[in-house]
Amino acid sequence: MPEVKNADELFKDFKAQSVSEFFKKNAAMLGYTGKIRSLTTIVHEGITNALDACEEAGILPDLYVKIDELGQEHYKVTIEDNASGIPLVYIPQVFGRMLAGSKAHRNVQSRGQQGIGVSGAVMFSQVTTGKSTKVLTSTGNKYIFKGRVQLNVKQNVGEIVEKEKIQNKWKWTGTIISLEAKRVLYNKSRYSPFNYLRMTSIANPHARITFIEPDGTRIVFDRGTDIMPKPPQPIKPHPYGITPDDLITMSENSSKANLSQFLEKDFVRISSGKVAEIGRQSGISMKTSTKRLSWGDAEKIVNAFNNIKFFAPPTGGLCPIGGDEIRKGLETTLVPEFCYTITRPPQTYHGGILFIAEVGIAYGGNAGRQGIEIIRYANRAPLIFDQGGCGITEAIKSIDWKRYGIRDLEKVPLTIFINIVSTHVPYTSAGKQAIAYKEEIYNEIRNALMDGGRALSRHLAGKRRLYEKKSKMNTLLKYVPETAAALAHLTTGDKARIEEKLASIITEKYVVPEVEEEDE
């Protein structure tokens, strides 16, 4: 009979672990699983931070990535940006602390949101090599900080283990990080750092990315425009999609004294007139203190939200790529015979969170050379892994493509580009490689794809008509010599002249202009 233990014995080893300690034991949650994926994840985290830093500073990104092979499954990754640099006091937090950062606490669009990012890369380097990460940074003053940073896993804090100041003779601003990793592998597959950077350049035409491969090959993804994207601004939540729990949490954290001030100042599209309407429909006094909002009252207010018409959310806080820029990227890279792009109007999903779905469809040329190719992005950052478990893929698979003239997705030369823009992208995990199923996002992608499908269907129908006419013309032209000979015999006319005239009549009847691409 097994020994019975009491609760004190069972819980004697109970203790909390730090965030860093948790992710160290569950590195796969951050994307560090598999040799190729782990190396790509390191590059992804560094480039994501670099692009965000440049854009926040209003500087056209000029990024440099170098991967050196140090031994078998042992590489060094160096990433340099030309952003505004990092003040010395923040270096341990940026590179050595999980769930810390300037983005996680603001309702603003950015590529990195959880505050894990580059500190996760530092941790992975540390646990696979035992080495700290080299950092050089300058904010443009007379010194460049040069040092090494490591992560204290048990306490979730960053530690500077070496540091020195170098004279900044070049007035350089920016940051360089260099870290080593083992049990990783470089190649040029679709999951590689090369393809990640290629996809990044498509969605970020304002950035120049120089990449040095382990064999010394230099690749430059040059910028296609000198126009910086409009910087996204912090935005307030929209009343649609808010739950009672969201409302209570927001009210508890609000500095406003009563519900009237809270609703009008902490949300978008709620005016004083709408506040009065909410009060009438909910039966809740708008003079109620924000700190005394009960669950029942919050539920009534949310029900009132759902019965009131509000203006659509403002788009100023989001920065979509835009249909023209997506088209440029697809046409430059794929040279398709057909290209369709659309940026949908802004919508909200659960919690009143604003998002925009952007879709591009390219057909022919270099598109989908081995069957349908899905290119997924979130806030311009490529999503290379976990495609099968992504809400974007679910939306694409839900479309009846046969209805639009696509009979075999495995063979069709089709590339589908989708970018989700939001202040809070609903990733399935901290690895940020797949988007969770959200009904509102799913439906927006479907609507955009169906718009594109109709345009593609018209293009393909035009191609079929052209093919049929050409086939008829070629069939008739085959009989021209025989028919001309018979007519010449009956009329004693010139066979060559009759043949020329018949060919001319047939060609004029079946001449078909080139099918124009849809541009909607």
pLDDT at 39 over 60: yes
Residue that has been written with the tokens 């191609």 in this structure: 463
**CATH entry, 19-221, from 3.40.50.300, 3.30.565.10, 3.10.105.10, 3.40.190.10:** 3.30.565.10
Q: What DSSP line would sit under 123-169, residue for residue? A: HHHHHHHS-PEEEEEEESSSEEEEEEEEEETTTTEEEEEEEEEEE-T
What are the pLDDT digits (tens) for 232-265? Answer: 777 788 888 788 998 998 898 889 999 999 999 9
The dihedral of CA 443, 321, 417, 402: what is its sign? Answer: positive
Residue 513: pLDDT band (50, 70, 90) is: low
Looking at the DSSP bridge assignments, the partners of residue 362 are 339, 415
Which range among 175-184, 211-220, 503-512 shows the weakest confidence by mean pLDDT? 503-512
What is the chain's mean pLDDT, rounded?
A: 85
pLDDT at 517 over 50: no
> CB within 8 A of 31, min separation 6: which ones?
37, 38, 41, 44, 120, 385, 430, 431, 432, 433
User: Which of the four pLDDT bands, split at 50, 70 and 90, describes residue 14?
Assistant: low
pLDDT recorded at residue 508: 78
Strand partners, 77: 67, 179
**Which pLDDT value is given to residue 145?**
93
Residue 317 tokens, joined: 């806080």
Least reliable range by pLDDT among 56-70, 96-110, 349-363, 384-398: 96-110
For the chain, domain boundaries: 19-221, 244-307, 330-520
Return the sign of the alpha-carbon dihedral for residues 4, 6, 9, 12. positive
To 10 degrees, what angle do helices 35-57 and 193-203 make? 30
Q: What pLDDT is stored for residue 192 in this prediction?
A: 93
Instruction: State the residue for tokens 């490591």.
Output: 150
In the predicted model, is pLDDT for residue 13 greater than 70?
no
Q: Residue 230: is its pLDDT beyond 70?
A: yes
For residue 317, the model assigns a pLDDT of 74
Which amino acid is present at 453? G
Query: Mean of the pLDDT values across residues 471-488?
Result: 78
Higher-confidence residue of 302 and 27: namely 302
What gap in Å lies between CA 63 and CA 206, rounded to an integer?
11
Bigger pLDDT: 350 vs 138: 138
| Closest of 129, 133, 39, 44 to residue 91, by C-alpha | 133
Name the CATH architecture for the domain at 244-307: Orthogonal Bundle (1.10)
Token readout for 162 is: 């070496």
Residue range 289-311: mean pLDDT, rounded: 91
Residue 216: predicted pLDDT: 95
Nearest to 340 by CA among 364, 319, 363, 374: 363
Mean pLDDT of 104-116: 55
pLDDT digits (tens, 9 = 90+) for 368-414: 777 888 999 998 889 988 898 999 999 999 999 999 988 888 888 99
Between 113 and 319, name the one with better pLDDT: 319
- Taking residues 212-220, what's their average pLDDT? 95
Would you state the pLDDT for residue 421?
92
- Topology of domain 330-520, CATH: Ribosomal Protein S5; domain 2 (3.30.230)
Rounded to whole angstroms, the Cα distance separating 69 from 21 reads 29
Confidence (pLDDT) at 295: 92
Nearest-Å Rg of the Cα atoms of the chain is 30
Residue 296 pLDDT more than 50?
yes
Q: pTM to 2 decimals? A: 0.75
- Beta bridge partners, 152, equal 157
Q: Which of 360, 359, 349 is nearest to 424 (CA)?
A: 349
195 strand-pairing partners: none
Q: If you average pLDDT over residues 148-167, what whole number do you get?
A: 86
Q: Would you call 49 exposed, middle or buried from its count of C-beta atoms within 10 A (0-12, 13-18, 19+)?
A: buried
**Residue 114 confidence (pLDDT):** 43
Check pLDDT > 90 for residue 104: no
Cβ 338 vs Cβ 284: under 8 Å = no
